[in-house]
A and B are shown apart, each in its own frame.
Chain A
Amino acid sequence: MFHFKRTAEAMVLVSALFAGSAYAETLKIAYIDPLSGAFAGVGDAGLKQFQFVADDINKRNLTGGPKLEVIGFDNKVSPKESLNVLKKVIDQGIRVITQGNGSSVAGVLIDAVNKHNERNPDKSILFLNYAAVDPDFTNSKCSFWHFRFDANSDMKMEAMTDFMAKDKSIKSVYLINQDYSFGQAVTRAAKEYLARKRPDIKIVGDDLHPIGKVKDFAPYVAKIKASNADVVISGNWGADASLLIKAAKDAGLSTPFYTYYFGGLGSMTAMGDAGVGKVKQITEFHSNIKPNKTEKFANAFNAKYGGPPNHLTFYYLRVNNEMYMLARAIKETKSIDPKKIALKLEGMKFESDTGEVEMRATDHQLIQPLYISTVAEAYRDPKNPKTAKFKGTDPDVKYDVEDSGLGFKTDARIEGYVTAQPTSCQMKRP
């Protein structure tokens, strides 16, 4: 026993030594997301933003020494391929990974990271999730090694229904979602939360359609119309979102749409002006929030990447939160050891651009304020020739996204504590 303790102490010393030597070096972060194929556009935008933030951190030396370097790895949005990539990442000695596109990939990575860390405790891997929103990841499947910087789908629904509950004119709601785990979760949460907050609201329609298979949404719109719903809630994304809103416009449907991702990367271009005044989204950030402390940073990013061919717009405030919090954890622990960083991130409170956010220690879910906003035409400022192509009249909609001429106008800010959900997580800590 005594010997064992001694050995353990020696080990700690040795590892501290190694950590010390590595401290002045570079912390590599593997960005595992699609960089080829159909989803490469989204993956590429994310990578550029990560690298942009990393440059900022290195320039300002926020880590107190180590440089951050974000390296892109192409997982081809395939869970299997992601596992191969993870092996490659481990082989290269990279100990921090980040990923966001697709809960399927995130689920696989959490599982693989858990197994790896269990089987190789001295080479543990840290997984920072910036966009996969399956609530399970911070409940039944929660892991000490996984941190989520995006609000999960239940939290977003909590915020959305909170906003809706205050609107007494809403008497009936229509749900339309993609028939897979995320869409089903949205449907379930919407029914549950509305029943709790506003039992008088009727669910007049509940459609689940196969994901990516519907070409013509006109029949669904006819059904929505026939139901006389006051509001539509939808978790659709990608083509399923754009097609739905186009069909709604064609049929002259004026019902507002409460959505998760209708304003997501690339969607505004596809949707065009069909969504103006009608589509609401829930996000942690958009370019026209007030006060906008991210404005300067976002403008710098847009100046660099906003031009052709990709017309990127700063989108993920959560990427900034993730990277700045990581940098602070490194600075405070004076170490780039994943376990120490993880212990420091747990419960960390951080002053983000939209207010204080907290990485809840019990389940590693970031609690952050969210915004509900509506699609609007960007403001045409007579004094600013750059806005000549815009058509809007509301000065609050200062910026558009992805050169589409459309931006967002805030309806409400929902504080973090409102969105917080009870968790069933029973975390096993090493």
Chain B
Amino acid sequence: MEFFLISMLNSLSYGLLLFMLSSGLTIIFSMMGVLNFAHASFYMIGAYFAYQISVWLGFWPALVIAPLLVAAVGMAVERYGLRTVHKYGHVAELLFTFGLAYLIEEAVHLVWGRSSVPYVVPPSLDGAAFTLYSTDYPIYRVFMMAVSVSMLIGIYLTLTRSRIGLVIQAALTHPQSVETLGHNVPRVFMLVFGGGSALAGLAGVIGGNAFITEPGMAAAVGPIVFVVVVVGGMGSLVGAFLASLLLGVLQTFSVALDYSFADLFAKFGYTVDPDTPLAVLWNLTISQTGPVLPYLLMVLMLIFRPKGIMGSREG
């Protein structure tokens, strides 16, 4: 029971972090059709900015300033990079962000060095929030969950209740009409891109110290974020939310399952010994494959439901 409850909490917090990461990507994709390969790089620079600011000013200012700085970087990228390649199509945009990811990583190497930086959880958030049976549950994870849930609510309200949200939604489907009404559509796109980047940056601020801040962190989370977006349904925010939670549960609980095909065969009275063909495959436990399962899920999803969980359009 202890294990189950703790694992449930762990999967929830991990899933919410994944959602924070993928929400920005999803918003950008659904609004602009751009798949931002460098999205995880914005997550990384968010963490590095937060580290630098927390050295100078402390963690709380960093929580606000770092995402804003990332937004500024994102807007600059949109204004001077993406807008130029937009005329060549989505593939060119994807390639641009792919190259950008390379450059950002090298730039991070240059400025902050090649190994990790000591970006730590602030003392006020360090320690156990509560103890479940005998396991501590850290305050910081509770804080992470609170931030992502409030972010989710914030996005929802902005998009559906605020004026700018309505303009964004309108610009998505009828850019010409919106332009005739006097709105600056390119500027709206720039804001959307900046906003999406800021969300990734925010994820970096609170993910960077929960895990570690190092130049490889972008490459480590990048593919998983894409899995979330595909499984959730390209461009669907609700889908991304469900997919994030699903992946969180999948990754957390798969670790606990030490079962393999060999055990299954044993139930039917057939034992796998080292000479059996493909013995390695049959002896592989679910826990061993855990981190590969998301990719497997993605492939299965594409075979049986190419739209994703909540997707409205296909690709």
Contact = CB atoms under 8 A, between A and B. Distances in A.
Chain B binds chain A: yes
Interface of A: 38-42, 179, 207-210, 212-216, 218-220, 222-223, 225-226, 239, 242-243, 246, 250-252, 265-266, 269-270, 272, 309-310, 404
Nearest to A179: B288
B47 to A, nearest CB: 13
Interface string B209-237: 01110111100110010000000000000
B138 interface: yes
A408 B7 CA distance: 33
A383 B215 CA distance: 39
Interface stretch (B55-63, B110-118, B170-178): B110-118
Contacts of A252: 128, 131, 135-136
A218 B216 contact: no
B136 A219 contact: no
17 contacts: A40-B109, A210-B290, A213-B292, A215-B220, A215-B221, A216-B10, A219-B252, A222-B7, A223-B255, A225-B3, A226-B2, A239-B216, A239-B217, A246-B211, A251-B6, A251-B137, A270-B116
B251 interface: yes
A41 B255 contact: no
Contacts of A219: 7, 10-11, 251-253, 255-256
A266 B118 contact: no
Contacts of A220: 255
A250 B138 contact: yes
Contacts of B117: 269
B165 interface: no
Interface of B: 2-3, 6-7, 10-11, 13-14, 17, 109, 113-118, 120, 128, 131, 134-138, 140-141, 210-212, 214-217, 220-221, 224, 251-253, 255-256, 287-288, 290-292
Contacts of B131: 252
A265 B128 contact: no
> Which of the listed residues B113, B251, B255, B292 has the most CB atoms from chain A within 10 Å of its own CB?
B255
Contacts of B288: 179, 207-210
Contacts of B224: 215
A251 B14 contact: no
B190 to A, nearest CB: 31
Contact of A269 (B7, B118, B255): B118
B7 A270 contact: no
Contacts of A309: 113
Contact of A215 (B137, B140, B211): B211
A41 B214 CA distance: 12
Closest 5 pairs (CB-CB, A-B): A252-B136, A266-B115, A41-B114, A270-B116, A219-B255
A213 B291 contact: yes
Nearest to B139: A250
Contacts of A179: 288
A160 B63 CA distance: 43
A152 B141 CA distance: 39
Nearest to A405: B118
Contact of B14 (A208, A212, A216, A226): A216
A209 B290 contact: yes
Nearest to B128: A252
B116 A266 contact: yes
Given A213-B220, A252-B136, A265-B115, A222 B3 contact: yes
Contact of B214 (A208, A239, A265, A404): A239
A270 B214 contact: yes
Contacts of A39: 114
Contacts of A272: 118, 120
Contacts of B120: 272
A38 B211 CA distance: 18
Contacts of A266: 115-116
Contacts of B136: 250-252
Contacts of B118: 269-270, 272, 404
B114 A40 contact: yes
Which of B17, B140, B212, B224 has its CB near the most chain A CB atoms (within 10 A)? B212
A405 B2 CA distance: 36
Contacts of A404: 118
A269 B115 contact: yes
Contacts of B128: 252
